């Protein structure tokens, strides 16, 4: 059956209008805050108190730069740089300190190096390295320990290492059911959720939602991410896990989807105004922040700071 151009245009217009209507009806709203001092992507992001830290990443000559955003003042400062530059690092905040592990060191590939930053002294120091090199991993905090999950070292890996700051030592926990990198890892309600990511390349994005229970040291499966994507930002926000942005070969994602562990269901929230990948998300007060990131696939950068609330 031949379909006329007019009919095609009408169908496409209806689909576009429906998509716009969905976005308009989706809960929440985005705003722009003070832009970052430097455009970056493939950064690490975490918050201590009312300060968000953006660590390393593409866009600076040595990738050692750290920027700090004071949410109360809507202003940026530049703390001490990393001991050495890194992109795609794992970053987490615990007990008033900032931890960085793994990533890709410029000209040297995946690294196992790890550091801790103390805002009180504006100084970094080395800590025990990861058991093995890996970049594009994700980290989160649960029960006073840091979990470093997934990543890539010449291929996607299922590694799951747990750091105890008191012992300055890493131990191994149950690996991911499927090794992947550029994933999101969020702790909520006593469990860890490993969501999305890719297997070796962003043309093999996954929609997995793997749930780790530290009591049994086992993974189970949750409802899959509605939009398979990697290079996402994610954070626990108002009792749900919000997964934002990402990339695939055709382009970057504006999607903003929230998972409710209680109902094991996803909901659509207000999308970004422009796609982003290679960033992170953190929550300060009742606002979720998404800094920097690439607007197009690959090594693009931006200095935007998006803020979401509902």
Does residue 277 lie in a domain region?
A: yes
Does residue 279 lie in a domain region?
A: yes
Query: What integer pLDDT is reported at residue 20 of this predicted model?
Result: 41
* pLDDT tens, residue by residue, 19-70: 344 455 799 999 999 999 999 999 999 999 999 999 999 998 899 999 999 9
CATH number of the domain residue 248 falls in: 2.120.10.80
Query: What integer pLDDT is reported at residue 309 of this predicted model?
Result: 97
Q: Please tell me the total count of domains within the chain.
A: 1
What is residue 78's DSSP assignment?
-
Mean pLDDT, to the nearest integer, of 65-86? 98
Query: What integer pLDDT is reported at residue 23 of this predicted model?
Result: 53
Query: What integer pLDDT is reported at residue 131 of this predicted model?
Result: 98
Does residue 295 lie in a domain region?
A: yes
Write out the residue range of the structural domain in which residue 159 sits.
30-309
Residues in contact with 244: Cβ distance below 8 Å, sequence separation at least 6, in sequence order: 232, 233, 234, 255, 256, 272, 276, 281, 290, 308
Region for residue 110 given its phi and psi (left: phi exceeds 0; alpha: psi -120 to 50; beta: otherwise): beta
pLDDT over 70 at 2, yes or no: no
Residues in contact with 95: Cβ distance below 8 Å, sequence separation at least 6, in sequence order: 144, 165
Query: What integer pLDDT is reported at residue 107 of this predicted model?
Result: 83
Cβ atoms of residues 283 and 242 within 8 Å: no
- Position 91 confidence tier, pLDDT thresholds 50, 70, 90: very high
Q: How many CB atoms lie within 10 A of CB 134?
A: 28
Mean pLDDT, to the nearest integer, of 96-118? 96
- Position 103 confidence tier, pLDDT thresholds 50, 70, 90: very high
Does residue 10 lie in a domain region?
A: no
| Cα separations in angstroms, 233 against 107, 142, 163, 213, 261 | 26, 19, 22, 22, 18
Does residue 85 lie in a domain region?
A: yes
Does residue 19 lie in a domain region?
A: no
Q: Which long-range contacts (CB under 8 A, 24 or more apart) does 23-26 make?
A: 23/270, 23/271, 26/256, 26/268, 26/269, 26/270, 26/271
Mean pLDDT, to the nearest integer, of 273-290? 98
Does residue 9 lie in a domain region?
A: no
Does residue 6 lie in a domain region?
A: no
Alpha carbon 294 to chain centroid, angstroms? 13
| Cα separations in angstroms, 182 against 35, 89, 278 | 24, 10, 8
Query: What integer pLDDT is reported at residue 200 of this predicted model?
Result: 97
Query: What integer pLDDT is reported at residue 235 of this predicted model?
Result: 98
Mean pLDDT, to the nearest integer, of 4-20? 34
Residues in contact with 107: Cβ distance below 8 Å, sequence separation at least 6, in sequence order: none
């Amino acid at each position: 059956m031949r379909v006329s151009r007019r009919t095609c245009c009408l169908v496409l217009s209806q689909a576009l209008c429906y998509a716009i209507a969905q976005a308009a009806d989706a809960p929440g709203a985005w705003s722009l805050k003070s832009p970052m001092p430097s455009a970056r992507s493939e950064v690490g992001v975490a918050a201590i108190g009312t300060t968000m830290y953006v660590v390393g990443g593409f866009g600076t000559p040595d990738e050692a730069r750290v920027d700090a955003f004071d949410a109360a003042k809507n202003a940026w400062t530049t703390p001490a740089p990393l001991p050495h530059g890194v992109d795609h690092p794992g970053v987490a905040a615990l007990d008033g300190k900032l931890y960085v592990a793994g990533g890709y060191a410029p000209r040297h590939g995946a690294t196992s190096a790890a550091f801790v930053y103390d805002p009180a002294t504006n100084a970094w120091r080395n800590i025990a390295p990861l058991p093995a090199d890996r970049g594009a991993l994700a980290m989160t905090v649960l029960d006073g320990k840091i979990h470093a999950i997934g990543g890539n070292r010449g291929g996607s890996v299922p590694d799951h290492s747990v750091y105890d700051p008191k012992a300055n030592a890493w131990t191994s926990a149950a690996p991911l059911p499927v090794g992947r990198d550029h994933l999101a890892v969020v702790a909520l309600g006593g469990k860890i959720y490993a969501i999305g990511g890719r297997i070796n390349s962003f043309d093999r994005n996954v929609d997995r939602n793997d749930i780790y229970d530290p009591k049994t040291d086992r993974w189970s499966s949750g409802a899959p991410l509605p939009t398979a994507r990697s290079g996402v930002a994610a954070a626990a926000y108002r009792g749900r896990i919000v997964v934002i942005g990402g990339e695939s070969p055709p382009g970057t994602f504006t999607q903003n989807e929230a998972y409710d562990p209680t109902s094991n269901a996803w909901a659509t929230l207000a999308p970004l105004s422009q796609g982003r990948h290679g960033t992170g998300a953190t929550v300060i007060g009742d606002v979720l922040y998404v800094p920097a990131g690439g607007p197009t696939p690959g090594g693009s950068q931006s200095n935007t700071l998006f803020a979401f609330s509902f």
